[in-house]
Structure 1
Amino acid sequence: MRNIDLVVVGGGPAGLAAAIEAKENGVENILVLERDRELGGILQQCIHNGFGLQEFNEELTGPEYANRFIGNLKEKNIEYKIDTMVLDITEDKIISAINTEDGFMQIKAKAIVLAMGCRERTRGALAIPGKRPAGVLTAGSAQRYINMEGYMVGKKAFILGSGDIGLIMARRLTLEGAEVLGVAEIMPYSGGLNRNIVQCLEDFDIPLYLSHTIVDIKGEDRLEGVVVAEVDKNMQPIKGTEKYYECDTLLLSVGLIPENELSKSIGIEFDKTTSGPIVNESMETSVDGVFACGNVVHVHDLVDYVSEESKRAGKFAAKYIKGEIKNSEKIIKTIAGYGVRYIVPHDIRIVNVQEKLKVFMRVSDVYKNKYLTIKADDKIIYKKKERQLSPGEMEMIDIDKKLIPEDTKNIEIELLEE
């Protein structure tokens, strides 16, 4: 059994940022474990630009963004293993993993950073009627086929769900010569970034059908078409609104789920809203010495935010290994008030916060001209009028530590009229 100071599970943008930050904070013995054939995670198939505006102050493609971190990882001589599957993690931080070179291995870590990312929700989670013809696949799978494997998935496509990957693939298919008939979204608002709606749909005259869903899939061996219907406020199809679209390809962009099978085996506490671990200000989970960051905690819309959050996890994992994290019985709870779907972090030990407390949150609906308000118990410490807030765009707020009274028990974020 090998002894490693810090093991990072996942070599995507979150894992890379966490490992590099830990090294810069004095941890020498680090191992990154990645199950895919290359480092970089999902970024390697995201060949479009739009990455790095906040992290590097320039616009990069996904592979370019990933390679900045991969190059830094190699310069710092941080050990990594690709094509390596982590099978199990115990509460006392023993990792069991396997690959073709080392075979079965066990590693004892002083600290662990979980950075496994997320996975796509599949057709099985939607219960769409119809048979199982070829041509129905997730948007991320189609992206990998086209951008990395060099295969075109179809000639005439429809997309269900307006998540960012689905919007981007609407544009990608069009650029590759396919016809995209439209995008159906069951919610009355899009789940993607507004810039992607403009650049990927409106710029290519691809219609977005809000409050619509697919009620039937036609075809035996190959997809022949889909039936789309409008839905009511209860998201039930409205009879008489059905419309048939002849197509050979259906892409599903119906949500992402944090990849937490390994986290469950450790006994970590979860947030039912995000489906990710409950974390504190240090990105530490409920299990001592086990940290989590990136999409395994909550789904981000910008990789720049993933990197920023993961650097915090790497920094505090280093502090944990060196015995520099301050334990305190005084814990501030974050509360999602009116209009707020969730907040990360969930618990705050204020003694570990330096100058700013950084919180991430999403709203539960589309709101216009609301005041985003933060209260320390009953005292308002932050108030800002927002012209528009949408569930598809994550909000990040820096709270000045000096504004938080020492005896604070709860920090509540809510939306107010004034």
Structure 2
Amino acid sequence: MKHVHTIVIGGGPAGLAAAISAHKQGVSVLLIERESKLGGILKQCIHDGFGLDRFKERLTGPEYAKRFIDELDALSIDVLLSTTVLHIAKEKEGYCLDVVNADGVARYSCKSLVLSTGCRERTSRQVFIHGQRPSGVYTAGSAQYFMNILGMLPTRRCVILGSGDIGLIMARRLSLEGAQVLGVYEAKPTPSGLTRNLLQCLEDYNIPLHLSHTVIKVYGDSRLEGVEISKVDENMHPIPGTSFRVDCDALILSVGLIPENELAESLSISLDPKTKGPFVNQYFMTEKEGCFICGNALHVNDLVDHVSYCATKAGAYAAQYENKKHYDQPVQVEGNFGYFIPQRIRYPLGEDPIACYFRVNREMKKAKFSLIVNDQIIYTKVFHHVKPPEMEFLELKQDLFKGAKTISVKMEELL
């Protein structure tokens, strides 16, 4: 058995940042990645717009990833590629991992663990689309892989279901390559993607967006021939008598992302039903001592810059981890929140500002965030024009939580 201080699982943008950050704390680090190359989803994101926060530059996905890969190489951090984690066991002094690759099965132990396993896309079966299983039904990420990695155009005439960011970006990408995007259909009454992508990917290319519509059926046996679309009510249920057929050769799904947390669940770590990621404290540590999580495995982020920021902190905390006497205070959530992270505050408090991430549950032109400790409002901040697709971020001083017997956060609309 080989021992290292910190093991990072997942070599995407979160794992790269976490491994580098942990190494800079002076501990031994091992990064494990199941694919043959580092970078995660960034390898196929050839559009620019990455790195504006972190590097103050407009980078493509591969360029952004390369900045971290080059630093990882310069620091001589150990990496296992094409390696799958078979099993993780919690032990008294840390964790034991069984992994497999072309060299066979190996066992590693570590004091702290960082999960940076990213997320996956929902499929047609997860959104209950009826019909056969013809070729031509792709997730947006799969279509992106065909185009940007394999150099293949998967469609000439397509419909996109869902207005998530990757679907919007693929609408533009397909149009640039000569495919006809007949329309983007969204079941919700409001778009799911960032405003900048709605403008740059749909409006600039005259691609229609149809809200409160969804695909209820696909036609075709061996190859997709068309889809049936229906209007939906306020509960997103199809309205009888409103359906119509659109002939196309591909249906591209951008219907949400799900954090990949099978490894966390194998450790019996509880997941927040709102984020689909584990409950964490301000150090990004899960309920299992010494197990940290970051990036899209914790919650789905809008920007890779936010992923790197969170992962840099998680990696440093994992490297500094000591199993000392402590207790956690839960954070109660009130008002118009979709979710709020962290869900717990650990005592004794530290010195670093607490990174808080949240989404609202509905669009509001003006809203007030309040931190309430021991039934007293001790911090407020006003946000202008908040909406569910756009994650909000703020930092709170740990001193604000001193002597807390109860902690709650509240988001309320200001009229």
TM-score by length of 2: 0.96
1:118 corresponds to: 119
Q: Per-residue CA shift, 1:241-286, capped at 9, x if unaligned?
A: 2222111011011111110111111111211111111111111111
| Range moving further from structure 2, 310-319 or 400-409 | 400-409
2:153 corresponds to: 152
2:19 corresponds to: 19
1:391 aligned to which of 383, 388, 398: 388
Give the partner amino acid of 1:317. Answer: A
- Describe the shift of the 1:413–1:127 C-alpha distance in structure 2 as closer, same or farther (beyond 3 A): same
- CA positional deviation for 1:358: 1.4
2:110 corresponds to: 109
What is the distance in 1 between the residues matched to 2:2 and 2:324?
28
2:360 corresponds to: 363
1:30 corresponds to: 29
1:65 corresponds to: 64
Give the partner amino acid of 1:95. Answer: L
Give the partner amino acid of 2:377. Answer: I
Q: Find runs of 4+ consecutive structure 1 residues off by over 6 angstroms.
A: none
Could you say what the CA RMSD is over the residues aligned between the two structures, in angstroms?
Answer: 1.4
What is the distance in 1 between the residues matched to 2:100 and 2:63?
29
1:47 corresponds to: 46
What is the distance in 2 between the residues matched to 1:392 and 1:350?
32
Task: Could you tell me which runs of 5 or more consecutive residues in structure 2 were left unpaired when the two chains were aligned.
Answer: none
Q: Per-residue CA shift, 1:290-318, capped at 9, x if unaligned?
A: 11111111111111111111111111111
- CA positional deviation for 1:366: 1.7
Q: Per-residue CA shift, 1:140-175, capped at 9, x if unaligned?
A: 011111001111111001101111111110011001
- CA positional deviation for 1:355: 4.5
- Describe the shift of the 1:313–1:185 C-alpha distance in structure 2 as closer, same or farther (beyond 3 A): same
Contact 1:358-1:399 at 8 Å conserved across structures: yes
Contact 1:335-1:343 at 8 Å conserved across structures: no
2:74 corresponds to: 75
Contact 2:334-2:408 at 8 Å conserved across structures: no
Alignment of 1:13-412 (within 5 A): 13-27=13-27, 29-92=28-91, 93-100=95-102, 102-320=103-321, 323=322, 327-329=325-327, 331-412=328-409
Give 3-state SS (helix, strand or coil) of 1:51's partner.
coil
* Identity, % of aligned positions: 46
What is the distance in 2 between the residues matched to 1:159 and 1:57?
32
What is the distance in 2 between the residues matched to 1:285 and 1:152?
42
- CA positional deviation for 1:408: 4.5
TM-score by length of 1: 0.95
What is the distance in 2 between the residues matched to 1:355 and 1:416?
30
What is the distance in 1 between the residues matched to 2:98 and 2:115?
14
Give the partner amino acid of 2:342. Answer: P
Q: Per-residue CA shift, 1:41-91, capped at 9, x if unaligned?
A: 001111111111111111111111100000010110001011111111112
- CA positional deviation for 1:350: 4.9
